[in-house]
C-alpha cells in the first residue's frame, strides 16, 4: 500500500496522544503522577495536541475532506466511523478530567472516575483505529491477530515514554513510571518482531488460478489491463525494495526500541539535568522510530488486487 504521510503521522501522533492520556489518568488515580497543576496542563495539553493534530492530519488523505463528517453515520458497519465517534466521545471524560484536576485536584473521587473513563475511552479509540486495518481481508499483512493489539501496544509504549519524560521535567520522576516505560517498550519490540516474522511467511491469498476457477495448469495473462501506472497500482500495488525494507526495519528497531531503552536507563542513573535530557531524547527518538515503523506498516502491505497486474 502507498504510505501516505498523512496516515503515517495520524497513526503515530494519535497513538502517542491517547497512550499519554490513558496513562496520566491511571497514574493519577494510583497517586504516581505529579500533583502539580503545571504537570496536568503540560501533559494533558501535549496529549490533546498530539490527538488533534493527528486527527486533522488524517483528513489530508480524503478526496473531499469537507465531507469527513458523513463518516460518523456509518458506525453500525464501519470501523472508521466507530473510530471517529470514539475519538469525539473520548474528549468528554478527558475534558472533565483536565478541568477537575485543575479546580479540584487529582485526589478528588470524581476526578479519578473521569481519569479512568478517559483512559478506557482512549484505549477503545486506539483499538478501533487498529481494527480499521485488521478488518481488511484483501490485505493479509493487516488482517491478522497482530494488528489491533499492536496498535494498543505502541500507544501505551509511546505514551509511557512521554509520561516518563514529563515526570522528569517536573521533578516527579519515580521508579514505577520508568519500569512501565521500559516494559512497554520491550513489549512493543517483541510484538513488532513477531509481527514481522508472521508477515514474512505470508503468501498471496489468491492467484490467477483461484480467481479464474482454473485449478489445474498455469494461468497467465496474455495482455495486462494497463500499460502504464494507474491509481490501483499506485495506491495498492506499492512496492518497496528488499534492501530498503531491511534497512528501515533496522532503523525502526534502533530508534523506536533500543535507543529509548538505553536513554531511559541512563535517565535513572545520571544526575539531573542529564536525566531530563535523556528522558526527552528517548521520547523524541521513539516518536521518530514509530514514524518509520508506520511507514513500513503501509509499504509492506500487499493488496490482492496487485495479483491481477502481475505483481
Quick: pLDDT tens for 184-206.
Answer: 999 999 999 999 999 888 766 66
Can you tell me which residue has the cell 494498543? 152
Can you tell me which residue has the cell 531511559? 264
Is the Cβ–Cβ distance between 3 and 298 less than 8 Å?
Answer: yes
**Would you give per-residue pLDDT tens digits along the chain (311 residues)?**
677 888 899 999 999 999 999 999 999 999 888 888 899 999 999 999 999 999 988 877 666 666 666 677 777 888 988 998 999 999 999 999 999 999 998 889 999 999 999 999 999 999 999 999 999 888 888 999 999 999 999 999 999 999 999 999 998 888 899 999 999 999 999 999 999 999 888 766 666 666 666 777 777 776 666 666 666 666 666 777 677 889 999 999 999 999 999 999 998 887 778 889 999 999 999 999 999 999 999 988 887 777 776 65
Tell me the C-alpha distance between 105 and 110, whole Å: 10
Domain at 56, CATH number: 1.20.1630
Cβ-Cβ contacts under 8 Å for 116 (sequence gap 6 or more): 25, 26, 29
Tell me the C-alpha distance between 257 and 290, whole Å: 9
* Cell numbers at 176, concatenated: 514505577
How many angstroms separate the Cα of 231 from the Cα of each of 192, 226, 288? 30, 11, 29
Tell me the C-alpha distance between 206 and 86, whole Å: 34
| Dihedral sign computed on CA atoms, order 29, 35, 39, 44 | positive
Tell me the C-alpha distance between 24 and 193, whole Å: 28
- Helices 37-58 & 5-30, crossing angle to 10 degrees? 150
What residues make up the domain containing 294? 5-309
First to last CA, the chain: 12
Cβ-Cβ contacts under 8 Å for 201 (sequence gap 6 or more): none
Cα 54 to the center of its chain, rounded Å: 10
Q: What is the number of structural domains in the chain? A: 1
Tell me the C-alpha distance between 276 and 69, whole Å: 41
Tell me the C-alpha distance between 147 and 141, whole Å: 8
Amino acid at each position: 500500500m502507498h504510505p501516505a504521510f498523512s496516515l503515517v503521522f495520524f497513526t503515530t501522533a494519535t497513538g502517542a496522544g491517547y497512550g499519554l492520556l490513558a496513562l496520566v489518568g491511571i497514574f493519577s488515580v494510583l497517586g504516581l503522577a505529579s500533583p502539580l497543576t503545571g504537570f496536568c496542563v503540560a501533559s494533558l495539553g501535549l496529549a490533546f495536541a498530539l490527538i488533534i493534530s493527528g486527527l486533522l492530519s488524517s483528513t489530508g488523505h480524503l478526496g473531499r475532506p469537507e465531507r469527513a463528517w458523513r463518516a460518523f453515520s456509518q458506525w453500525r458497519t464501519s470501523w472508521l466511523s466507530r473510530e471517529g465517534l470514539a475519538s469525539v466521545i473520548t474528549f468528554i471524560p478527558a475534558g472533565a478530567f483536565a478541568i477537575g484536576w485543575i479546580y479540584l485536584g487529582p485526589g478528588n473521587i470524581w476526578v479519578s472516575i473521569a481519569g479512568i473513563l478517559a483512559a478506557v475511552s482512549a484505549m477503545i479509540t486506539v483499538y478501533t483505529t487498529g481494527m480499521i486495518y485488521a478488518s481488511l481481508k484483501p490485505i493479509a499483512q493487516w488482517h491478522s491477530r497482530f494488528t489491533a493489539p499492536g496498535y494498543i501496544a505502541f500507544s501505551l509504549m509511546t505514551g509511557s515514554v512521554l509520561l516518563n519524560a514529563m515526570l522528569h521535567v517536573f521533578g516527579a520522576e519515580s521508579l514505577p513510571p520508568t519500569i512501565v516505560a521500559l516494559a512497554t517498550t520491550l513489549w512493543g519490540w517483541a510484538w513488532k518482531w513477531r509481527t514481522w516474522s508472521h508477515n514474512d511467511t505470508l503468501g498471496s491469498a489468491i492467484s490467477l488460478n483461484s480467481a479464474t476457477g482454473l485449478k489445474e495448469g498455469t494461468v497467465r495473462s496474455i495482455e495486462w489491463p494497463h500499460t502504464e501506472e494507474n491509481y490501483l497500482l499506485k495506491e495498492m500495488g506499492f512496492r518497496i525494495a528488499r534492501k530498503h525494507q531491511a534497512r528501515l526495519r533496522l532503523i525502526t528497531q534502533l530508534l523506536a526500541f533500543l535507543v529509548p531503552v538505553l536513554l531511559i536507563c541512563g535517565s535513572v542513573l545520571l544526575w539531573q539535568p542529564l536525566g531530563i535530557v535523556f528522558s526527552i531524547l528517548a521520547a523524541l527518538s521513539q516518536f521518530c522510530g514509530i514514524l518509520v515503523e508506520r511507514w513500513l506498516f503501509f509499504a509492506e502491505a500487499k493488496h490482492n488486487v496487485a495479483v491481477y497486474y502481475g505483481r
